[in-house]
Structure 1
Amino acid sequence: MHPGIGPGRMLGSPRPENAMRLIPAVALLASLLAIAGCIPVRDADRPIATHLVRSEQAATRLVVVLPGRADDLDALRGSGMAESIQGAWPDADVLLAELTLSYYMQGRAPERLHSEVIAPARERGAYREVWLVGASMGGMGVLLYDRLHPGEMDGLVLLAPYLGDRGLLRDIGDAGGIARWDAGPKQDVNADTWQREIWRHIQGWSRNPQQADRVWLAYGDRDRLRKAMPLLIPALPKDQVLVREGGHAWTVWSPAIGEVLRRADAKRGR
């Protein structure tokens, strides 16, 4: 079972009345997905579950990892991500965060990720760097988080991120790419606007190389989301995009994260 992409109307930060209207539909969707056995369903009223993989030496860095749509905490533990991260950065604590679909559907995923996971982790450890990594739906979560807390993370790694519906992607392509696309007036993030606002944020990277320098992208050459990547790539430094053999799976992403982190250190002369 591979991590999947998010549904077409995923939520960012909807107004309370919008969220209230969506509760019955979300509950029904969650129930159906649970019955189908395809997606872990968690009670979004409960705190986000985490698992800390401590470094065997004094930790000076923290890497927070977000799951794909079909993943839970057990899947993250078995993905090989922590081992790959610590193979590249032996001084890194790895924090696996079970930010599943239900938290996005609630509409407060980036806020809760900050208050329940990242802020407490910063308080517990004296880290000189904190990185955020997400695969598939988790890559979308990384984008939502950086939009809400721009520049807070020292590094962002997008592993085959879900970037939105085909219609919007087609509009960006037809406009000549992210640099030429007109995002329109800035809006609050809700069920109707979150995809456009994510792309507005990406467009900001294309105009601010200092922010883009924090961002790395990796995906497989047979990944089912790969067709969206050429729209994202122009906003990033060319040497921070890794295309590897394989599909939409941890067997591609786990080795890639180690390579990303080693390259990041080499690029910074560490």
Structure 2
Amino acid sequence: MKINSRYHLLWLLLLLLFSGCAAPTNKPLRVLKYPAPRSEETPQAKSSDTLIVLLHGRMGAPEDFEKHQWISRLRAKYPDADMVAPDVHLGYYRGRTITKRLHHDIILPAKQRGVKRIYLSGISMGSLGSLLYESEHPGNVDGFLLVAPFLGYGAIEKDLKQAGSLKKWSQQLENEPEKWQPKFWRWLAEHSSELADRVHIGYAKDDGYVVGQQFFASLMHEPNVIIVEGKHRFNAFTAILDRFLKDHSFSES
């Protein structure tokens, strides 16, 4: 399914959000790699047929996943999976190249070498990057773990309540070009059924972006929603990961 061209406008609107931040870039991603252990008998064995891609948040870095023991936690449940953590800093969002670089630097090469299952796990803005990738390459990823997703600024709760529903809110603001959030949320609402079987979402009760997280979670399957105590901090992010690893698994398309 090809994404409708009207959603390309989303990138232009996102530029307003990221103006004044890191310079736009189209450079190949710097990628930290955590391959699955190979046996002593086959040290040159081909790569795993499972790849987990970890996308950090706006103020984060790819090194965060090892620093906060995400790699070891994931390895305990997925011992045969390869993992990568690209440096998806703001320059890629400003340059509208985040999805291009993810596709050409990570996803496409993985498929070409025979990887059968690819999962994206994003923290905060990394979740936004994951969803943007899905919007341009629908169905290319087998499962998502969206941790404390950043889905836009602004107090949307009042507007949503006044409109009566997420769908009505996004529709009534569709033709206002300066309003990028309704464009993005309209896409989420229209494609929620395609996402629901593949998405796990987790957030903390006192997260600063909890309103948007709750509305997005309402579009997903309730058993795939993880709620923990805390704020928009790494201890809450890791608590979400721990709950996911204990009670859930990556969904497959």
| TM-score, structure 1 as length reference | 0.74
Say if 2:198 and 2:251, in contact at 8 Å, map to a contact too.
no
RMSD: 3.1
SS at match of 2:11: coil
**Structure 1 residue 204 and structure 2 residue 190: aligned?**
yes
Identify the range of structure 1 (92-101 vs 103-112) with the bigger mean alpha-carbon deviation: 103-112
CA distance in 2, matches of 1:95, 1:47: 14
SS at match of 1:183: helix
**Structure 1 residue 54 and structure 2 residue 43: aligned?**
no
Shift of 1:203: 0.3
CA distance in 2, matches of 1:230, 1:216: 13
Q: Provide, for residues 217-243 of structure 1, a one-character-per-residue CA deviation record: whole Å limited to 9, x for no partner.
A: 111222222232221121000000001
CA distance in 1, matches of 2:61, 2:134: 22
Gaps of 5+ in 1: 1-10, 31-40
One-letter code of the match for 1:203?
A
Shift of 1:257: 2.5
Which residue matches 2:68? 79
Match of 1:154 among 121, 137, 142: 142
Shift of 1:204: 2.2
Say if 2:50 and 2:82, in contact at 8 Å, map to a contact too.
yes
Gaps of 5+ in 2: 1-8, 39-46
Which residue matches 2:42? none
CA distance in 1, matches of 2:126, 2:84: 14
SS at match of 1:91: coil
CA distance in 1, matches of 2:226, 2:216: 13
Which residue matches 1:103? 92
Match of 1:233 among 217, 230, 234: 217
Identify the range of structure 1 (57-66 vs 240-249) with the bigger mean alpha-carbon deviation: 57-66
Aligned residues between the structures:
234
| TM-score, structure 2 as length reference | 0.78
CA distance in 2, matches of 1:140, 1:65: 12
**Structure 1 residue 214 and structure 2 residue 198: aligned?**
yes
CA distance in 1, matches of 2:100, 2:155: 27
Say if 1:134 and 1:161, in contact at 8 Å, map to a contact too.
yes
SS at match of 1:14: helix
One-letter code of the match for 2:59?
A
Which residue matches 1:254? 238
Which residue matches 2:4? none
Which residue matches 2:111? 122
Say if 1:178 and 1:232, in contact at 8 Å, map to a contact too.
no
Q: Percent identity?
A: 26
Q: Provide, for residues 23-72 of structure 1, a one-character-per-residue CA deviation record: whole Å limited to 9, x for no partner.
A: xx95xx34xxxxxxxxxx57724221111111125723111011111112
Say if 1:157 and 1:217, in contact at 8 Å, map to a contact too.
yes
Q: Provide, for residues 185-234 of structure 1, a one-character-per-residue CA deviation record: whole Å limited to 9, x for no partner.
A: 978xxx8464333212210244x2x5311011111222222232221121
Which residue matches 1:14? 12
SS at match of 2:63: helix
